[in-house]
Structure formats: C-alpha cells, structure tokens
Amino acid sequence: MHIAYLSAGSNLGDRRHNLKSALKRMDGAGTVRATSSLFETEPVGLRDQPWFLNLAFELATGLPAEGLLRFCQTTEVRLGRIRTFRNAPRTVDLDLLFFDDDVINEPDLTVPHPRMGQRRFVLVPLAEIAPGLRHPVSKLTIREMLQRCEDPSEVRPYDWADG
C-alpha cells in the first residue's frame, strides 16, 4: 500500500458536485482516508476566470504513481474536463502532490508536485490533514511550507452546505 496526497479543484459548473463526484470516483483507486474542508480560492496565473473550490485528500492505494496519475486523468475526463488552453477553467483538476516519500522526475509526472510551495490554495487544505508531513527533498513540513509561502491570493473557508 502507498499513501498519496492529492489536490482537487473545480471552477466550472457545479463546483461542489464536481468535487464530491471526484472524491467518490477516487475510491476506485483505493481508500480516501482523510479529506480537508472546502476552500474558495482566487485564481492564480490566469486571473480573469471564476474562483475555484479546492480541497486536499489522503489516499491509500495499491496503484503505482503512474497508474494513479492515469486514474486521476481518466476521472477528470469522465467528470467532463475538456482541455482547451493552459490554465483554462476546468470542471475538475486532480494533482498528485506526494506519493510516499518518492521523488519522481518523469516527462509526464513530477512528484512532489513542483509548484505546491507557491500555492496557498494547495497548502492551506493540505495543512489541515497533514501539517507534519515532510517534503522528501526540502525536509520542510507542510506547516513550514505554508509559513514560507508568499502567495498573496485569497483562500477562504467555504461551507459544503453553502450555495
């Protein structure tokens, strides 16, 4: 069994429903063992687009990292993601943040996710479920990564029950 941490985001369509469906589908890759609360987040990069809902979750899986990435990509497509242009709005984006303590540098897969340290929308949810988890290269904990993160964009709590 492997322990993976993933980030899920949606800014198109029924965002809560998209994230709920994604989590349900990820149970097909293993067991979702912990889920953060939900956050509404300001788009970073391409800023002229709807705000995101983001969460992080922990998955126990028997799949290898490449297999998990493919499972995520299939899940994105099944939930209606259409790839148009870089940073375009999406129904669901599933990113692999950590996979055990593995460091992976393949053409189609980089783990730990190389941009997570610059993203409050990734670190804030992750810090809820794994504050003491250590980055295998920098050796910083998620809490420490969040303290050092200079991303000024807004990340605010969002109730699952809100409209």
Q: Which residues are catalytic?
A: 81, 90, 93, 95
CA–CA separation, 53 and 38 (whole Å): 7
10 Å Cβ neighbour count for 109? 15
Instruction: Indicate whether 135 belongs to the interface with ligand ATP (CB under 6 A).
Output: no
Instruction: Indicate whether 76 belongs to the interface with Ca ion (CB under 5 A).
Output: no
Beta bridge partners of 60: 3, 31
For residue 25, give both structure tokens: 């589908």
Is 79 within 8 Å of 19 (Cβ atoms)?
A: no
Per-residue mark of binding to ligand ATP, 70-109 (x: CB under 6 A): -----------------x-----x-xx-----------xx
Nearer to Ca ion, 58 or 95 (CB): 95
CA atoms within 13 A on the CB side of 72: 24
How near is the Cβ of 161 to Ca ion at its closest, in Å? 26
Instruction: Indicate whether 115 belongs to the interface with ligand ATP (CB under 6 A).
Output: yes
Q: Which residue among 93, 99, 111, 133 contacts Ca ion (CB under 5 A)?
A: 93
**Which residues of this chain interact with Ca ion, rule CB under 5 A?**
93, 95
